[in-house]
């Protein structure tokens, strides 16, 4: 047994859920064989506890490292902060410098607040919306984190978030009194959105939208959202935690011509260092002064410093154009190799957040794909989040490995029972208890 698997067995006894982030559970990738823990990482390469080196062609820190792991320029800026003091009784001037920069990139915005994670940043945005409108109900589309405002949608129906979050995720611990305070609608579904507006319009405090993920937005859908929020005098909040700083150096809403009142950023902005940003117009953001939103570690200096260094490098190197090209190349390779081996797959997502799914035995074949790619030196699943650290030598090796792996998958299908090719259990698709 590998050292990672031994350590994970201990972790499951000590840590509820085994890890701190559901998306990093090894059961989501390759149960019993995924190299759960790392010793070091650089660029797009990771070394596990047994010193095995892998090229990360999967999630790159769950989308948090657009420049690549341990980027020299960002690390250099952070090290200066460590040497001169990260936390003091006084405030970091970088807070103001970053606020100016973010508003420069988003001229429609007037005010800025900070946090350190995406989920809490979204909760701040929702708190601001409710404080400014003095109304409770939030309509939302997409995935927005673990906080009560969001999971409360599952109090009325355990399946409410199945298309937005993870099937089977229970709202245990969320107060029952929050029932009927948040309602989901599907992306691009104007009819569903307008139905919710019609039912609850007198009590709606805001509309939350994950700007873009797996589907491109219909223009009329975005126009309808903006039209209705203006009519009701409530904020349109765009969640840019995943999409931000991938299509351009700023929010994807600028490219897609979405006109929000509040926008939220996190993982894409600081290359692996904790940071969350909420921006908006003064009309709504000023309400943050009338409600208690405050936390000690929102004032530490590393987050803003890392963000400024990351944005500077992104602008200098035109990083977004690069990761768009890499993502497109990989999506096209998936399609080409699937046709070559007569496999049916569905490719989705914007180029910097690419996904594919097998038409037959989707979980079994996803597990088999991960298993076979791991033996070839790749951390790989049916998602790929490109970074600036992914170079042509990595892409060529990856495509070659896909060719070999798709051949094995096709053979498993010909034999009629691909599950026999797995060395362990198939991966999980949703939330399941470990014990």
Identify the pLDDT of residue 155. 85
Confidence of residue 154 (pLDDT cuts 50, 70, 90): confident
> Given this model, what pLDDT does residue 272 score?
98
CB half-sphere exposure, 29, CA atoms < 13 A = 24
- Tell me the C-alpha distance between 161 and 152, whole Å: 10
Q: According to the model, what pLDDT value does residue 166 have?
A: 66
pLDDT at residue 397 tops 60: yes
Residue 343, pLDDT score = 98
Q: What is the pLDDT of residues 156-206, one digit of tens each?
A: 776 667 666 667 667 889 999 999 999 999 999 999 999 999 999 999 999
pLDDT in the model for residue 213: 83
**Do the bridges between strand 111-115 and strand 276-280 make them parallel or antiparallel, or are there none, so unpaired?**
antiparallel
pLDDT band at 49 (very low <50, low <70, confident <90, very high): very high
Identify the H or E element spanning 421: none
pLDDT of res. 208: 98
Residue 320: the pLDDT is 98
Q: Are 153 and 182 in contact (CB under 8 A)?
A: yes
Q: Look at residues 142, 151, 146, 144 and name the one whose alpha carbon lies nearest to residue 181.
A: 151
Which residues sit opposite 184 in a β-bridge? 140
Q: What is the pLDDT of residue 433?
A: 58
Q: How confident is the model at residue 1 (pLDDT cuts 50, 70, 90)?
A: confident
Contact 92, 298 (CB under 8 A): no
pLDDT value of position 161: 74
Give the C-alpha distances (Å, rounded to integers) separating 109 from 279, 281, 334, 366, 429: 6, 5, 39, 42, 38
The arrangement of strands across the sheet holding 383-384 comes to 345-348, 354-358, 383-384
What is the residue-averaged pLDDT of the chain?
Answer: 95
The mean per-residue pLDDT over the stretch 351-369 comes to 97
The pTM for the full model equals: 0.95
Record the tokens describing residue 345, joined without a space.
């797959």
Q: pLDDT digit string (tens) for 261-317? A: 999 999 999 999 999 999 999 999 999 999 999 999 999 999 999 999 999 999 999
Torsion sign over Cα 124, 129, 131, 136: negative
Tens-place pLDDT, residues 50-70: 999 999 999 999 999 999 999
User: Containing H/E element for 351?
Assistant: none
* Exposure class string for 416-425: b at 16+ Cβ within 10 A, else e: eebeebbeee
Residues in Cβ contact with 28 at an 8 Å cutoff, skipping those fewer than 6 apart: 22, 427, 428
Q: Percentage of the chain with pLDDT > 70?
A: 96
Mean pLDDT within 205-215: 93
Question: What value does the mean pLDDT take over residues 399-420?
Answer: 97
Per-residue model confidence as pLDDT tens digits over 383-395: 999 999 999 999 9
Domains and CATH numbers, the chain: 3-70+318-421 (3.90.1150.10), 72-317 (3.40.640.10)
pLDDT-based confidence at 350, cuts 50/70/90? very high
CB-based burial of residue 338 (10 Å sphere; 0-12 exposed, 13-18 middle, 19+ buried)? buried
Contacts of 315 (CB under 8 A, 6+ apart): 249
């Amino acid at each position: 047994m590998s050292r990672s698997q031994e350590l994970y067995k201990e972790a499951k006894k000590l840590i509820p859920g085994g890890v701190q982030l559901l998306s990093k559970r090894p059961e989501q990738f390759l149960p019993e064989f995924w190299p759960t823990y790392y010793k070091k990482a650089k660029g797009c390469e990771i070394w596990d506890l047994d010193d095995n080196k892998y090229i990360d062609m999967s999630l790159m820190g769950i989308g948090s490292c657009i420049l690549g792991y341990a980027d020299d320029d960002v690390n250099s800026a952070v090290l200066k902060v460590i040497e001169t003091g990260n936390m003091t009784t006084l405030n970091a001037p970088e807070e103001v410098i970053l606020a100016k920069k973010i508003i420069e990139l988003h001229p429609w915005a007037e005010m800025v607040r900070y946090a350190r994670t995406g989920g809490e940043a979204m909760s701040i945005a929702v708190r601001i919306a409710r404080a400014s409108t003095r109304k409770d109900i939030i309509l939302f589309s997409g995935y927005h984190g673990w906080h009560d405002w969001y999971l409360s949608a599952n109090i009325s129906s355990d399946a409410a978030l199945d298309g937005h979050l993870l099937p089977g995720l229970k709202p245990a611990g969320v107060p029952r009194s929050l029932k009927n305070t948040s309602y989901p609608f599907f992306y691009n579904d104007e009819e569903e959105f307008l139905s919710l507006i019609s039912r609850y319009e007198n009590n709606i405090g805001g509309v939350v939208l994950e700007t873009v993920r797996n589907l491109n937005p219909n223009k009329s859908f975005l126009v309808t959202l903006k039209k209705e929020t203006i009519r009701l005098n409530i904020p349109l909040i765009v969640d840019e935690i995943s999409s931000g700083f991938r299509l351009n150096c700023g929010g994807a809403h600028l490219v897609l011509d979405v006109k929000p009142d509040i926008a939220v950023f996190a993982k894409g902005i600081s290359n692996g260092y904790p940071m969350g940003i909420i921006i908006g117009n003064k009309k709504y953001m000023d309400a943050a002064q009338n409600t208690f939103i405050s936390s000690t570690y929102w004032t530490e200096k590393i987050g803003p410093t890392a963000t400024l260094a990351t944005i500077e490098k992104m602008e200098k190197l035109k990083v977004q154009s690069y990761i768009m090209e890499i993502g497109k190349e990989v999506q096209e390779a998936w399609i080409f190799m699937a046709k070559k081996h007569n496999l049916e797959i569905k490719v989705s997502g914007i180029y910097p957040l690419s996904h594919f799914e097998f038409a037959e035995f989707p979980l079994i074949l996803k597990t088999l794909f991960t298993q076979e790619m791991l033996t070839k030196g790749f951390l790989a699943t049916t998602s790929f989040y490109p970074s600036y650290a992914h170079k042509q030598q990595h892409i060529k090796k990856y495509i070659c490995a896909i060719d070999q792996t798709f051949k094995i998958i096709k053979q498993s299908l010909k034999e009629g029972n691909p599950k026999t090719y797995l060395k362990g259990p198939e991966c999980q698709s949703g939330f399941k208890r470990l014990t």
